[in-house]
Amino acid sequence: MRQDSTSLHISAVIGAAFLWSTSFAVTKVVLRDVGALTLGALRFLAAGILLITICLFVRVRLRAPLRSHAVVAGAGLVGITIYFSLENYGVALATATDAVLIVASYPVMTMVAEAIFHHRQPATINVAGALVAFAGVALVTANKPAQEVPYRPWGIIFLLLGGLAWTAYNMMSAQKQVNVTSNRRLGVLITTGLQNLWGGIGFCLLVPILPEGVNTNLRSSAVWLIIYLAIGCSAVAFLLYTFGLTALKPSQAVAMLNLVPVFGVVWAIAIAGEHITPLKAIGAVTIIVGVAMNARNPQLSQEKQTHRHCIPSKG
């Protein structure tokens, strides 16, 4: 039963990665009509309001101690407002290849954070899986042409800082850290809704401070794409990811996001009609192998082995 439950949580994170893989192309189109920070505010506020409305409709308990709400609000501001702002500026100043490769290093950052703050030493197979997945991402992006980008060092710094923000978000979003009481935890639905809401509020605070070039001349097609980003890539994707974190280690969940470039290759073939190169195919397979290695939980296998030895023999 425990293994089946873990498989469900792994599937949820993979589903989130699949949805997030579509957001890059959709966001690029929408940014023609609205600034990046304004888009963040619209996208996450809409997602937060939608999820909280659903909570009210299904009568999910919203009452919780101030500390629990503070943890959720902090996770939303760090993992949504700060992370996506740093990522957007990083991608704008660096190259797309830089962004993909640096994002692929996030699982290693999360493993280090787990070792420092949770005293959880990563298993050898998990470390190897993260490195294999990183190598696969490098192969997928290796054949992209080099670009002369004058502010590339700043972009790399922003992307690395984004990795720290995403690591902090995963650590803060661990289900055991948002207990309402010793016997009741803040549910996944309300947690995701509040995180999106606070993330959207954070973007609203940044809009008048940071330069972004706001364009309010929205076309109807852009409005529909924003709705898709709010529902699919924010509400549903974060709901799936938060659910996955209730059973997986943060480093395992983050490692599965390396599937995003694999899905990106699929979208490029299906939508843009691009042809996959042998190097990209090898890279995609390598990423999948690395993610599968990282998804393994040796501790769970050890528990099952111990439980088996503890069962008294009959007769």
Give per-residue pLDDT as tens, 187-205: 888 899 999 999 999 999 9
pLDDT of residue 272 exceeding 70: no
Which value, in Å, is the radius of gyration of the alpha carbons in the chain? 20
Residue extents of the structural domains in the chain: 2-120+149-257
pLDDT score of 185: 62
What percent of the chain shows pLDDT beyond 70? Answer: 81
CA dihedral for 69, 35, 227, 262, sign (positive or negative): negative
pLDDT of residue 231 exceeding 60: yes
pLDDT score of 234: 94
pLDDT of residue 3 exceeding 60: no
Of 206 and 272, the one with more pLDDT:
206
To 10 degrees, the CA torsion angle through 50, 56, 60, 63?
100
pLDDT of residue 175 exceeding 60: no
Q: How far apart are CA 304 and CA 311, in angstroms?
A: 11
pLDDT score of 181: 47
Angle formed by the axes of helices 83-93 and 36-57, nearest 10°: 150
pLDDT of residue 306 exceeding 50: no
Q: Model confidence over 109-142: pLDDT tens digits?
A: 888 888 888 777 777 887 888 888 888 888 876 7
pLDDT score of 83: 94
| DSSP-H helix ranges across the chain | 2-30, 36-57, 66-76, 83-93, 96-103, 106-117, 124-141, 152-172, 188-206, 220-228, 237-245, 250-256, 259-270, 278-295, 298-310
pLDDT score of 129: 82
pLDDT of residue 294 exceeding 80: no
